[in-house]
Amino acid sequence: MNANHEDELQTLREALQHRLDQLLPAGEQQDLVYSAMREGTLASGKRVRPLLLVLAARDLGCDIEQPGLLDLACAVEMVHAASLMLDDMPCMDNAQLRRGRPTIHRQYGENVTILAAVALLSRAFGVVAEAQSLSPACKAEAVAELSTAVGLQGLVQGQYLDLNESGEARSAETILLTNELKTSRLFDATLQMAAIVANASPQARQRLRCFAQDLGQAFQLMDDLADGLNGTGKDINKDSGKATLVAMLGADAVHQRLHDHLRSADEHLSCACDRGASTRRFMHAWFDKQMALFSQNRISSLPEC
């Protein structure tokens, strides 16, 4: 990863942070729900999804300065933040730590957490519907993509499968489906939104769907490999007693699968975006960094996806 690439990512992250700050509403008063929304969204995160959206749009020929692009990227990050807040709840994963801090419900209580997540989700759809300088047709299509990624064919179903398969024997097939629903579907919506803004061809959009599929599986495998290690900013050994591919196949086989998914992702991406390689460079830099941390057994700075 060269310095220019890292500088550019940092500039983009700052632009995202600034725009997220602007887009989070003030409400009738600055109360606990308002604070929980901000804490859940603005606290440090690697912004993988919004960065992917912007970089993929550029690779597809879009002007990166188009303000609507940043708005869509912020909407995806709001959805991601809301899903983490709810997944951490006592009646879900009962997590204590997230990004190195107490989870939102531990800071603000369960009712405020639910309300903040609902407000974030509905704000995300509103941000897409009012995104700057995008045509109404783009906005409507982007709302539909986001809706599919969140609902019963996406994050919701993934979390339900994850909850109900915990601690039980489950097949590799079920694990792959859960990973797809929990992770690939929101990557898919993210990349489809980039394609919508860039007015990409149906062929490119289909390739991006396949890319999202591989990328989501790779991310989830990386997450499973990281479980049990300190310094992830999350609870450790959260998957203990739960059937994961690591428990089922061993770490080496999972590393191999991860490698295969990344190679396949690479091929799909090359076919979808022939104008550049910002997305590919970003993805490889991210995974290379994680791999290096694993191999050096220096996990203390492993970032959250």
* Nearest distance in Å: CB 112, a copy of itself: 7
Q: Binding a copy of itself by CB under 8 A: which of 52, 55, 86, 272?
A: 86
SS3 102: strand
Alpha-helical (H) ranges within 63-184 are 67-87, 104-108, 110-129, 136-150, 155-165, 172-179
Task: Answer yes or no: are the C-beta atoms of 128 and 142 closer than 8 Å.
Answer: yes
Question: Could you say which residues in the range 155-174 bind a copy of itself, by CB under 8 A?
Answer: 155-157, 159-160, 163
**Other C-beta atoms lying within 10 Å of the C-beta of residue 298:** 11
* Nearest distance in Å: CB 135, a copy of itself: 7
253 residue type, one letter: A
Give 123 or 261: the residue with its C-beta nearer to a copy of itself: 123
Which of 247, 79, 231, 252 lies closest to 166, judged by CA? 247
Task: Answer yes or no: are the C-beta atoms of 259 and 187 closer than 8 Å.
Answer: no
* Cα-based distances in Å from 267 to 73, 104, 207, 277: 24, 39, 9, 12
Question: Could you say which residues in the range 6-25 bind a copy of itself, by CB under 8 A?
Answer: 25
Give 112 or 273: the residue with its C-beta nearer to a copy of itself: 112
Query: Tokens for 215?
Result: 């990328």
Please choose, out of 96-104, 113-121, 216-224, 243-251, the segment that lies near a copy of itself by the rule CB under 8 A. 113-121
Which of 222, 219, 216, 202 lies closest to 272, judged by CA? 202
Residue reference for tokens 């024997």: 169
Please choose, out of 32-40, 201-209, 218-226, 292-300, the segment that lies near a copy of itself by the rule CB under 8 A. 32-40
Please choose, out of 14-22, 26-34, 53-61, 209-217, the segment that lies near a copy of itself by the rule CB under 8 A. 26-34
The helix (run of H) or strand (run of E) holding residue 97 is strand 97-98
Residue reference for tokens 């801090």: 101
**Other C-beta atoms lying within 10 Å of the C-beta of residue 109:** 13
Size of the site for a copy of itself (CB under 8 A): 54
* Nearest distance in Å: CB 250, a copy of itself: 28
Question: Does residue number 136 form part of the binding site for a copy of itself (CB under 8 A)?
Answer: yes
Give 125 or 294: the residue with its C-beta nearer to a copy of itself: 125
Q: Binding a copy of itself by CB under 8 A: which of 121, 197, 225, 293?
A: 121
Question: Could you say which residues in the range 176-235 bind a copy of itself, by CB under 8 A?
Answer: 177, 181
> 182: which DSSP letter?
I
Question: Does residue number 125 form part of the binding site for a copy of itself (CB under 8 A)?
Answer: yes
Binding site for a copy of itself (CB under 8 A): 25-28, 31-34, 37, 86, 89, 91-92, 109-112, 114-119, 121-123, 125-126, 128-130, 135-137, 139-141, 143-144, 146-148, 150-153, 155-157, 159-160, 163, 177, 181
